[in-house]
Amino acid sequence: MILKLVLLSLLFCANTFAKQPVSGNRYELLSGIRKDRNTKAFWDTKYSEKRYVYGKAPSSFLAHNYTFLPFGGKILDIGMGEGRNAVFLASKGYKVTGVEISSEAIRKARMLAREFEVRIDTALTPLEEYNIPDESLDGIICFYFVEKNMNERFMKWLKPGGIVIFEAFTERQKSVKGFDPSDNGALLKESELLKLFPGFRILKYEEPIHERDYRASIILQKTKESSSAFKKVKK
Ligand SMILES: C[S@@+](CC[C@H](N)C(=O)[O-])C[C@H]1O[C@@H](n2cnc3c(N)ncnc32)[C@H](O)[C@@H]1O
């Protein structure tokens, strides 16, 4: 009798849980997409100091390679930060929009744009909630913001032939003194970046191992096969 009762209550519990909608936290765990309520607070605090945390100068990979982006094109800076890369591209004649979760970052990016007398557009929103029409961008730049599960979504926004410039730290960066894991999003495995954008044409790839920082940088071009290639990899 007792065994029967235990079995019945177990069945009841299993049924109740199966019907429950996927909660925010569980969604994050299942999908790998971080939607942490603290993310904004973390970055706002980090950027609240007066100095530019990542400096005012663009990433050197971008400064050396920005001409891969179609001249004067519409560019999205994903996880723009304080605007060092967005302002640099605007100064070179590009129409740049930066998406950012941190209002402090946006405030400083706008200040930087004023300092360099250029215009940038900004969107203060978590990327998970940002949306624009497919094939509306000439280029996407993404520096030190790694959300592997969202790549397919972002890449739909690129026109065919559009360019991606992406850079992030690799796992070797853990060995660098002062490394802060909360700062830079996910770390890339060796050569992983070469596989994150299936169907894209790789125009340039760098993964230097004898510099102070360990990063991987890539320039890609969207091809006709890019969208279907993402789907094939997922199967
Ligand atoms: C390591 S910083 C890099 C900033 C900038 N790309 C650079 O290289 O200077 C990562 C940035 O991503 C932003 N970020 C983090 N999670 C985000 C989200 N879910 N949506 C939009 N921005 C986000 C943070 O506010 C932060 O500015």
- Residues 103-139 have pLDDT tens digits of 999 999 999 999 999 999 999 999 999 999 999 999 9
Q: 98 CB less than 6 Å from ligand 1?
A: no
Atom of ligand 1 nearest to the CA of 105: 27
CATH number of this structure's domain 56-234:
3.40.50.150
Q: Residue 21 — very low, low, confident or very high, per pLDDT cuts 50/70/90?
A: very low
Instruction: Return d(Cα 117, Cα 67) in angstroms, integer.
Output: 21
Q: What count of Cα atoms within 13 Å lies in the side-chain half-sphere of residue 177?
A: 0
pLDDT at 33 over 50: no
User: How many Å apart are CA 144 and CA 78, to the nearest integer?
Assistant: 9
Q: Is residue 62 within 8 Å of 85, Cβ to Cβ? A: yes
> Rounded to the nearest whole angstrom, what is the distance from the C-alpha of residue 229 to the centroid of ligand 1?
27
Most ligand 1 atoms within 8 A of CB, residue of 60, 101, 166, 213 to mutate: 101
Closest ligand 1 atom to the C-alpha of 35? 19
Query: How close is the Cα of 14 to the center of ligand 1, in Å?
Result: 39
Pocket mutation for ligand 1, best pick of 34, 80, 145 (most atoms within 8 Å of C-beta): 145
Mean pLDDT of 58-78: 98
How many CB atoms are closer than 10 A to CB 134? 13
Considering the entire predicted model, what is its pTM?
Answer: 0.83
- What CA–CA distance (Å, rounded) separates 47 from 212? 24
Is the minimum distance from the CB of 36 to ligand 1 under 6 angstroms?
no
- Beta carbons of 197 and 153 less than 8 angstroms apart: no
Q: Which residues of 31-58 are buried (b: 16+ CB within 10 A; e: fewer)?
A: eeeeeeeeebeebeebbeeeebbbeeeb
- Residue among 151, 145, 223 nearest 186 (CA): 145
**Per-residue pLDDT at 175:** 87
CB 86 within 8 A of CB 80: yes
Domain ranges of the chain: 56-234
Q: Is the CB of 46 under 6 A from ligand 1?
A: no
Distance CA 104, CA 100 (A): 10
With pLDDT > 90 as the criterion, what percentage of the chain qualifies?
Answer: 65
CA distances (Å), origin 2, targets 8, 10, 13, 15: 10, 12, 17, 20
